[in-house]
Amino acid sequence: MKECRENPFRRLIIRGLLVIAVLLCLGVSAYGEKGDSPASSSTFSRQAEAGRALPLLSKNNPPAVPVQDLPSAPVKIKGAEARRSRISGSSADVQGADHQASSAQQISAAAGKIAPEAGHRKDKRVVYLTFDDGPSAVTPKVLNILREQGVKATFFVLGDQAAGRPELINAIWEQGHAIGNHTYNHNYHDLYSGFTEFWRQIKQTEETVREITGVRPQLVRAPGGTFGHFDNTYFTLLKQAGYEVIDWTVDSGDSRRRGVPAAEILQASVADLTSSSVVLLLHDGSGHGQSAEALPAIIERYKAAGYTFGILGAQSDPVQFRVSSKAAALKRGKPSQDWISANIVPNAQLFAPGTALALEIGRMETKLKPGEYRVQDGQYYVPLRATVERLGGQVGWNAATRSGTVIWNGRSVTLNSETQEIGILRLDGTAEYQAAQVQLLGESLWVPLRTLLEAAGHPGAESVVSAEERRVKAA
């Protein structure tokens, strides 16, 4: 009898404790979002702002795949709206894939256009218009001209500009142009002080673009070009990570000095109309209005000379400058083997063809692409934030204890990479600690999928493997 009466009180106390725990977690997140934590920089707050300004783009907006799940980024706990977009996470993936397919169609359509002409003439000529440093106020003018002329181009965008003008990144993408990565801030001193900083900016820009278009840029153009800047380490590691570095064959000269007039840009752009393949360097960054001014005439001249207009892809023969003796002699430190294993090696899988891992958990479903998960010791390892957020849960990061806290399925689960422990606080108030393989890889937490599902109250995971995909189902 006594027991029966105690139970409701106990439950009340337990609920109270749980509410406090959840509130504490939310409190941590609010603190993080203000960017007050010493580790979070204004850059991240700017990114967060850009993210918030993008409600229309949520279709392309599955949570980040945290090969670069920066622990210093604000802890994201989003509301129902964000969750709604995640429920359709799998359809967002499909849309992303559709868009890729349509780009592929554009490419093959472009190839198709070339084909009949190629039958008549042996010298199939292609010009690849490339625009660096945007997007800026000049970009809409360039896009209008390209649309009017029925011409495609490649835009090597800067991450900080993209974060501030996501609608232009979307416009470039929607018009079927290619988007390449031109680093985050274009600062030579930062970028060429050592490879790891160059890498950090490539990943940051990649994430910014991926949040807008759903697709990771694979093409990279070095600010100022590779010559005098890249040594073998830069070339080798970027290639190993799955990127294609592209310089140019013709410089329009539009950035030689301020305000180069359109006539001069035109002249330099069409100086050689005999090469079978031209990669033309132009700029659509701020202050490059004259480049847009020159563009219709540039296109006209190339058309008249029998050129078709291509967009660069990872398949294009890369145009790269050689390593200069100056760059080779810089003696910049090379990243450690551990760093390469944690960053470069898994990154290549992001671009490698492979098998996706579909997760069907409760009523939610999502898909991790090849490279977004790992198989180790016969187990699936998944990045904590991307996996949980795509399945409708929330994840907070505590930099001090290097641990992540998951609010999911009515539970609070803390995964600590230092103590290798999982703490589970259940709805009924019971708490439990277990040893677990919580890995801090690069800058993200990875956990065995089965351990995560069991801790979060999704037991009995079944795994099915077919030629097309890997699938894990749990109640």
Beta carbons within 8 Å of 75's beta carbon, 6+ residues apart: 28, 29, 32, 33, 395, 396, 397
Phi/psi of residue 356, each to 5°?
-85, 155
Neighbouring C-alpha atoms within 13 Å toward the C-beta of 172: 30
Site for Zn ion contains 132 (CB under 5 A) = yes
- Verify binding: residue 223, Zn ion, rule CB under 5 A: yes
The least CB distance from residue 347 to Zn ion, in Å, is 23
Per-residue burial over 136-162, b = 16 or more CB atoms within 10 Å of its CB, e = otherwise: bbbbbbbbebbeeeebbbbbbbbbbbb
Q: At what angle do helices 337-348 and 232-240 cross, to 10 degrees?
A: 40
Beta partners for residue 406, in sequence order: 395, 413
Closer residue to Zn ion in complex, CB, 132/244: 132
**Marked catalytic residue, from 283, 284, 288, 458:** 283
CB of 132 or CB of 211, closer to Zn ion: 132
Which among 93, 132, 231, 284 is annotated as catalytic?
132
- Amino acid, single-letter form, for residue 60: N
Strand partners, 472: 359, 463
With respect to Zn ion, which residue has the nearer C-beta, 292 or 358? Answer: 292
Q: Which is nearer to Zn ion, 60 or 181 (CB)?
A: 181
| Residue span binding Zn ion (CB under 5 A) among the ranges 80-88, 201-209, 219-227, 271-279 | 219-227
Residue 133 sits in the site that holds Zn ion (CB under 5 A) = yes
Least distance in angstroms from the C-beta of 246 to Zn ion: 13
Q: For the CB of residue 255, give the shortest distance to Zn ion in the complex, in Å.
A: 7
For residue 443, which of 203, 190, 83, 128 has the smallest C-alpha distance? 203
186 is catalytic: no
- Give the phi and the psi of residue 250 in degrees, each rounded to 5: -130, 130
Closest CB to Zn ion belongs to which residue? 132
Residue 244's DSSP bridge partners are: 219
Is 284 marked active-site? no
> 33 or 132: whose CB is closer to Zn ion?
132
Residue window 172-211: x/- pattern of binding to Zn ion, with contact defined by CB under 5 A: ----------------------------------------
User: From CA 377, how far away is CA 371, in angstroms rounded?
Assistant: 16
Considering the complex, state which of residue 74 and residue 223 has its C-beta at the smaller distance from Zn ion.
Answer: 223
Per CB under 5 A, does 160 bind Zn ion?
no
- Beta bridge partner(s), residue 374: 381
CB of 152 to Zn ion, least distance (A): 20
Nearest-5° angle of CA 191, CA 193, CA 197? 50
Taking contact as CB under 5 A, which single stretch among the options 128-136, 353-361, 379-387, 444-452 is the one that binds Zn ion? 128-136
Residue window 237-266: x/- pattern of binding to Zn ion, with contact defined by CB under 5 A: ------------------------------
Distance of closest approach, residue 133 Cβ to Zn ion, in angstroms = 4
For residue 467, the tally of other CB atoms under 10 A from its CB is 5
Q: What are phi and psi of 349, to 5 degrees?
A: -70, -20
Beta carbon of residue 198, minimum distance to Zn ion (angstroms, whole number): 14
CA distance 92 to 375: 24
Q: Determine whether 462 is exposed, middle or buried from the number of CB atoms within 10 Å of its CB (0-12, 13-18, 19+).
A: exposed
CB atoms within 10 A of CB 116: 8
Stretch that binds Zn ion, among 201-209, 217-225, 333-341, 348-356 (CB under 5 A): 217-225
* 134 lies in the site for Zn ion, by CB under 5 A: no
Longest CA–CA span in the chain (Å) reads 97
Tell me the closest approach of the beta carbon of residue 139 to Zn ion, in angstroms: 14
Is the CB of residue 217 less than 8 Å from the CB of residue 180? Answer: yes
Q: In this chain, which stretch among 125-133, 242-250, 292-300, 339-347 interacts with Zn ion, using CB under 5 A?
A: 125-133
* Distance in Å, CB of 182 to Zn ion, minimum: 6
Q: Which is nearer to Zn ion, 197 or 443 (CB)?
A: 197
By CB under 5 A, which span of 96-104, 168-176, 220-228, 461-469 interacts with Zn ion? 220-228
DSSP state of 365: E
Does the footprint of Zn ion cover residue 404 (CB under 5 A)? no
Pair 220, 246: CB distance under 8 Å: yes
Minimum CB distance to Zn ion smaller for 133 or for 365: 133
Count of residues of this chain found to bind Zn ion when the rule CB under 5 A is applied: 3
Do 90 and 416 form a contact (C-beta atoms < 8 A)? no
- What residues are annotated to the active site? 132, 283
Which residues of the shown chain bind Zn ion in the complex (CB under 5 A)?
132-133, 223
